Amino acid sequence: MVLATGGYVSVPVVAAARLLGRRIVLQEQNSVPGSANRLAARWAEMVYLG
């Protein structure tokens, strides 16, 4: 399982996790998701907003 917290660094990690068939969970500290988490959300199993 990969837990991503957003930012430009998380996008390649999430993409690699998707290619490897790993579970993806996103966590966003803000109530409005940033662009990296919005992009990765389509592959995520769960998205948690703060």
pLDDT at 21: 97
Q: Which segments of the chain have a pLDDT < 50?
A: none
The pLDDT tens digits for 29-43 are: 988 889 999 999 999
- How far apart are alpha carbons 8 and 15 in whole angstroms? 12
- How far apart are alpha carbons 48 and 42 in whole angstroms? 13
DSSP string, 7-22: STTHHHHHHHHHHTT-
Number of neighbours of residue 33 by Cβ within 10 angstroms: 17
pLDDT at 40: 94
Q: Can you give the pTM of this predicted structure?
A: 0.85
pLDDT at 31: 86
pLDDT at 50: 81
Extents of the domains making up the chain:
2-49
